């Protein structure tokens, strides 16, 4: 044991020496100060392995030195568990090492004393805090990753259960973070360490297989390297070529994806060619392909199109004279550094006075944006899901009709794309074409899809859209829209209802003047909120009337008692073509899903804030549990003689020249107006969609019969949206 403080000292000396090399101007005395402070703070604390606790902290700093991080980050790494596990507090760190260091330490400190007992909620809250601190200072994520890396390296000392849980969390959260920030160096190791814990059988199978064929592979590499080096030299391209075994987890993923055994994974090994300039990359690729034929579909140009984490490289799989396949990566040394270090490279360039090499600013802006969208999300699960899909998951690239490229998370739908273009496009979206074909708004977009959004003049979001979209941006806009539009509609309806009831009760009161006090008495901060509550059905209008002055109490009483019988017995004529039991002048809308017309038997459903919607009795949407019996209301037709209704018809027919003409001829003869029409054909079948004006069901049936007689027509359907 006594050798371990010495070990810490040795590691610290190593850190100091390397900082001296890559950052000679740094104030290295502060490093020693932090070393002594943290060592003293953790004095006597041991890890499960029996090692002194401080060995962990100094190792985390050591990992970050490999990433060539700045001095503040290294200090924060040494102190990263001080606030959590020792008597020192945030302010102690501020006083000694400044607020930048203290804030980084705070960012990686677990949240303690959380109210949520729920494990999931606690996890999400901790996670939200981490994301917040990363957005404030992205160096936090590097410390957190290095911390996790050392914990994974020493995981064997924990119980089986803890090992499983930590490895799973590493795979689910930390690996995606490392990947997103482009830190391949840490990502691969974390992935392989977690893989070993989660699927030990598979891990050791791959390890054995690789060891058995090691010498064979080494010979192969030699055979390839010599001609490759020679030909590169001839063209004057300076390069360094290395062979490296693939990481176990990536081999495993390949075996799983292609359902093959290890012996059939042909590129267990990869070659890397590092050159000086971007042009050299393409020269080298050309040279490589003249020596070894490429597997043509496996060339990837991440130089022209970098990955979102800014990774750049050329990838090609080539065939060797021995009939083996091998993956080759070609990149400049700058691209290589960025590929290995990701955002960590940023501080290197920063200290060297260079530019922001890794698009860090964009990443941070994006994180902040995502967090702003998520502000109103209270469900921890949803928060994590959206965060994962918006920021961490794989992405797809899609094209607008104008050829602009848009990046969306994998699984995104055309509706996400619509909101990505502009919230207005999203709101007015009615459908989408992907690669020229009409698709469902729910369909997932694929890489390279060309997406065109169909819009209407008026916005039409609905709550069901929240299930369709995957991006935080779209969810945020839809939620906001639903909130404000519903509110406005409810206010208007509430006002209508109360005005009507005041008149009925012979109360000569003005809503805006006389109901303000009532609203306050009833606990509403403003009148509109009371009106909205009435309009949405959350507050019974009779209760409001009852609150009015005692002078009016008896009148209010009348309204209250009248309630039930009135609703049951009175049938009053509305101005819109249906009578609604007991209610005057209520807003009536015809359900768009089934488009009822006089003659259809109908059912009324009280909606939140949109009056009564009228459905056909057989409409499949009525089986929705949200439209249960307590929201039904009796309605009947009461049509003015000249009133017409719109019906959408879908006619399928054998494709022939004058089909459309013949159909419209028939409609003309029966004096039926066509409001709009659409024609499409696929193979020899064509589909005619017509919106026609009819007075009633009787009339519609006659029309259907005559259209049915048109040559080639195979079926006619009344539109019903499911
Ligand atoms: Mn730690």
Helix (H), strand (E) at residue 433:
strand 429-434
Residue with tokens 């209008």: 541
pLDDT surpassing 70 at residue 644: yes
573, 595 contact by CB (below 8 A): no
pLDDT on residue 559: 40
pLDDT band at 414 (very low <50, low <70, confident <90, very high): very high
More confident residue, 580 or 489: 489
The least confident of 40-54, 410-424, 603-617 is 603-617
Task: Give the strand order in the sheet containing 578-581.
Answer: 571-573, 578-581, 635-637
Q: How far apart are CA 438 and CA 174, in angstroms?
A: 39
pLDDT on residue 485: 78
Positive/negative CA dihedral, 222, 228, 234, 239: negative
Q: Which residues does 148 contact at the CB level (< 8 Å), separation at least 6?
A: 170, 174, 190
The mean per-residue pLDDT over the stretch 60-69 comes to 93
pLDDT band at 565 (very low <50, low <70, confident <90, very high): very low
Q: How far apart are CA 645 and CA 589, in angstroms?
A: 12
List the Cα angle 705/711/712 in 5-degree steps: 105
pLDDT band at 492 (very low <50, low <70, confident <90, very high): confident
Helix (H), strand (E) at residue 655:
none
Catalytic residues: 84-85
Cα→Cα distances 431→416, 425, 438, 460, 627, Å: 12, 11, 7, 11, 26
Tokens read off for 545:
């009337």
pLDDT on residue 393: 66
Provide the mean pLDDT of the chain: 81
Distance 458 CA to ligand 1 centre (A): 54
pLDDT on residue 488: 81
pLDDT surpassing 80 at residue 702: yes
Highest mean pLDDT pick, 230-244, 298-312, 416-430, 681-695: 416-430
The CB-side HSE value for 2 (13 A sphere, CA atoms) comes to 0
Cα→Cα distances 279→287, 329, 638, Å: 13, 15, 78
pLDDT on residue 574: 36
Distance of CA 317 to the CA centre of its chain: 33
- Grouping H, G, I as helix, E, B as strand and the rest as coil, residue 589 is strand
Query: What are the pLDDT digits (tens) for 334-382?
Result: 899 888 888 777 666 555 444 444 567 777 777 777 777 766 666 666 7
Cα→Cα distances 211→196, 218, 251, 654, 663, Å: 16, 11, 14, 66, 75
Share of the chain above pLDDT 70, in %: 84
The mean per-residue pLDDT over the stretch 492-505 comes to 81
pLDDT on residue 569: 31
Query: What are the pLDDT digits (tens) for 440-481?
Result: 889 999 877 889 999 888 888 888 898 899 888 898 888 888
Residue with tokens 């290294």: 74
pLDDT surpassing 80 at residue 672: yes
pLDDT on residue 187: 93
Distance 78 CA to ligand 1 centre (A): 9
Query: What φ, ψ does residue 272 adopt, rounded to 5°?
Result: -125, 130
Task: Characterize the bridge pairing of strands 588-590 and 612-616.
Answer: parallel
Q: Which residues surround ligand 1, an ion (CB under 5 A)?
A: 81, 147
List the Cα angle 516/518/521 in 5-degree steps: 115
More confident residue, 557 or 204: 204
- What domains lie within the chain, and their CATH numbers? 3-197 (1.10.3210.10), 208-347 (3.30.460.10), 480-548 (no CATH), 555-634 (no CATH), 645-718 (3.30.70.260)
CB atoms within 10 A of CB 684: 10
Distance 356 CA to ligand 1 centre (A): 29
Distance 81 CA to ligand 1 centre (A): 6
Distance 611 CA to ligand 1 centre (A): 58
| Max CA distance (Å), the chain | 105
Distance 147 CA to ligand 1 centre (A): 5
pLDDT on residue 84: 84
Tokens read off for 343:
């955002």
Query: What are the pLDDT digits (tens) for 534-557?
Result: 887 778 787 887 776 544 444 434
Distance 109 CA to ligand 1 centre (A): 9
Q: Residue 571 burial by CB count (10 A; 0-12/13-18/19+): exposed, middle or buried? A: middle
More confident residue, 317 or 608: 317
pLDDT on residue 155: 93
Distance 174 CA to ligand 1 centre (A): 14
The mean per-residue pLDDT over the stretch 390-407 comes to 78
């Amino acid at each position: 044991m006594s050798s371990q403080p010495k070990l810490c000292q040795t590691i610290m000396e190593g850190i100091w020496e390397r900082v001296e090399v890559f950052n000679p101007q740094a104030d290295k005395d502060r490093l020693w100060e932090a070393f002594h402070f943290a060592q003293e703070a953790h004095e006597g604390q041991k890890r499960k392995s029996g090692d002194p606790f401080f060995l962990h902290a100094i190792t985390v700093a050591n990992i970050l030195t490999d990433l060539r991080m700045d001095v503040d980050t290294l200090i924060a790494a040494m102190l990263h568990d001080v606030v959590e596990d020792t008597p020192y507090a945030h302010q102690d760190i501020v006083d000694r090492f400044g607020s930048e260091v203290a804030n980084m330490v705070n960012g990686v400190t677990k949240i303690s004393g959380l109210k949520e007992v729920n494990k999931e909620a606690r996890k999400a809250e901790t996670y939200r805090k981490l994301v917040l601190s990363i957005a404030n200072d992205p160096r936090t994520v590097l410390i957190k990753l290095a911390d996790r890396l050392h914990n994974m390296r020493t995981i064997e000392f924990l119980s089986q259960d803890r090992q499983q849980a930590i490895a799973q969390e590493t795979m689910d959260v930390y690996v995606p973070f490392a990947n997103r920030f482009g830190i391949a160096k840490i990502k691969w190791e974390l992935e392989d360490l977690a893989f070993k814990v989660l699927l030990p059988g598979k891990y050791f199978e791959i390890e054995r297989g690789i060891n058995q064929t090691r010498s064979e592979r080494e010979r192969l590499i030699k055979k390839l390297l010599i001609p490759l080096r020679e030909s590169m030299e001839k063209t004057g391209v300076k390069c360094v070529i290395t062979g490296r075994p693939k990481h176990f987890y990536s081999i495993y993923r390949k075996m799983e994806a292609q359902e093959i055994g290890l012996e059939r994974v042909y590129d267990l090994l990869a070659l890397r060619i590092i050159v000086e300039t971007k042009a050299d990359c393409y020269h080298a690729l050309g040279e490589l392909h003249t020596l070894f034929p490429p597997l043509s579909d496996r060339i990837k140009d991440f130089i022209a199109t970098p990955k979102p984490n800014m990774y750049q490289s050329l990838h090609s799989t080539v065939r060797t004279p021995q009939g083996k396949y091998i993956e080759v990566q070609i990149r400049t040394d700058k691209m290589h550094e960025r590929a290995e270090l990701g955002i960590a490279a940023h501080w290197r360039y920063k200290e060297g006075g260079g530019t922001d090499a890794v698009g860090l600013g964009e990443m941070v802006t994006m994180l902040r944006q995502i967090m702003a969208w998520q502000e109103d999300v209270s469900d921890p699960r949803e928060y994590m899901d959206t965060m994962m899909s918006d920021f961490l998951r794989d992405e797809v690239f899609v094209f607008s009709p104008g050829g602009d490229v848009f990046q969306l998370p994998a699984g995104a739908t055309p509706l996400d794309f619509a909101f990505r273009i502009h919230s207005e496009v999203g709101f007015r979206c009615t459908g989408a074409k992907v690669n020229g074909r009409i698709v469902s708004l729910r369909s997932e977009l694929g890489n390279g899809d060309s997406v065109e959004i169909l819009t209407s003049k008026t916005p039409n979001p609905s709550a069901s859209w929240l299930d369709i979209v995957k991006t935080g941006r779209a969810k945020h806009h839809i939620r906001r829209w639903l909130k404000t539009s519903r509110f406005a509609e409810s206010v208007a309806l509430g006002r209508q209802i109360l005005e009507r009831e005041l008149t009925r009760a012979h109360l000569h009161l003005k809503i805006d003047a006389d109901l303000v006090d009532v609203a306050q008495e009833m606990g509403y901060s403003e009148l509109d909120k009371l009106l909205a509550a009435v309009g949405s059905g959350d507050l019974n209008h009779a209760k409001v009337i009852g609150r009015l002055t005692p002078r009016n109490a008896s009148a209010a009483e009348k309204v209250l008692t009248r309630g039930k019988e009135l609703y049951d017995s009175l049938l009053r004529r509305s101005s819109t073509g249906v009578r609604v039991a007991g209610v005057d002048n209520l807003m009536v809308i015809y359900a768009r899903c089934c488009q009822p017309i006089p003659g259809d038997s109908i059912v009324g459903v009280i909606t939140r804030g949109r009056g009564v919607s009228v459905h056909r009795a057989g409409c499949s949407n009525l089986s929705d549990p949200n439209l249960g019996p307590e929201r039904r209301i009796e309605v009947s037709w009461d049509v003015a003689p000249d009133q017409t209704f719109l019906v959408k018809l879908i006619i399928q027919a054998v494709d022939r020249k004058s089909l459309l003409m013949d159909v419209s001829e028939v409609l003309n003869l029966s004096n039926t107006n066509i409001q709009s029409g659409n024609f499409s054909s696929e193979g020899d079948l064509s589909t005619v969609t017509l919106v026609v004006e009819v007075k009633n069901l009787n009339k519609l049936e006659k029309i259907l019969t005559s259209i049915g007689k048109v040559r080639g027509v195979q079926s006619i359907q009344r539109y019903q949206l499911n």
